[in-house]
Amino acid sequence: MSRIGKKPVPITAGVKIAVQDHLLKVEGPKGKLQMTVHPSITIKVDEAKKEVVVTRPDDERQSKALHGLTRALIANMMVGASVGYKKTLEIQGVGYKAELKGKNLVLSIGFANTVPLPLPQGLVVTVEQNKIHVSGADKQLVGQFASDIRRQRKPEPYKGKGIRYEGEVVKMKQGKAFAGAGAK
């Protein structure tokens, strides 16, 4: 049996769960999330123990994979609806900056034109000096948008300019050596 899948997911205080057919809805202080569950997986909400139990019909390879995956996704939904997820990106480079204009994040990152990125629904994006904070209830959406921002200008290995995650270490390379050292 799946070690992750067989663990029950505790229901966090302040979070409401509803299961209809194969649609799971989670509602909490940080937002509402919903997920369509694979037809072979069953979800039972135990109100007395305040937990969600995920079960599978057989020990087929796909059933085992879906069992652990579904349990992990439900646990992520619980955390997202109650606490939320947050990613922080840093912009490094002379003249590089980010600003919010309407429903767009506008990046000035060394190109001839600025790069506008439309903000996805359900995310809160804030900009302070050289940091971009992306937060929301959906873990996948927060991570994907942060990745999309970073993809616009990845940190380069010679000067370290670009957009990186907070705390990310970029391995720096040595530049070209001067030509006059050994040539005669």
Give pLDDT, residue 175. 86
> Domain spanning 9-82: which superfamily?
Ribosomal protein L6 (3.90.930.12)
Query: What is the tens place of the pLDDT at every residue in 82-137?
Result: 999 999 999 999 999 999 999 999 999 999 999 999 999 999 999 999 999 999 99
Give pLDDT, residue 177. 80
Domain with CATH 3.90.930.12 in the chain: 9-82, 85-165
Q: How confident is the model at residue 3 (pLDDT cuts 50, 70, 90)?
A: confident
For 110-125, b/e burial (b = at least 16 CB within 10 A) is eeeeeeeeeebeebeb
Q: How confident is the model at residue 184 (pLDDT cuts 50, 70, 90)?
A: low
Distance, in Å, from the CA atom of 164 to the CA atom of 90, rounded to the nearest integer, reads 5
Give pLDDT, residue 172. 93
Give pLDDT, residue 182. 55
Provide CB contacts within 8 A for 148, sequence distance 6+.
117
Alpha helices per DSSP H over the chain: 61-82, 139-152
Exposed, middle or buried, 72 (CB in 10 Å: 0-12/13-18/19+)?
middle
For the segment(s) 85-165, the CATH number from 3.20.20.100, 3.90.930.12, 3.40.50.300, 3.30.420.40 is 3.90.930.12
Q: What is the mean pLDDT of the chain?
A: 92
pLDDT beyond 90 at 71: yes
Residue of higher predicted confidence among 20 and 179: 20
- Model pTM score: 0.88
Query: What is the tens place of the pLDDT at every residue in 129-160?
Result: 999 999 999 999 999 999 999 999 999 999 99
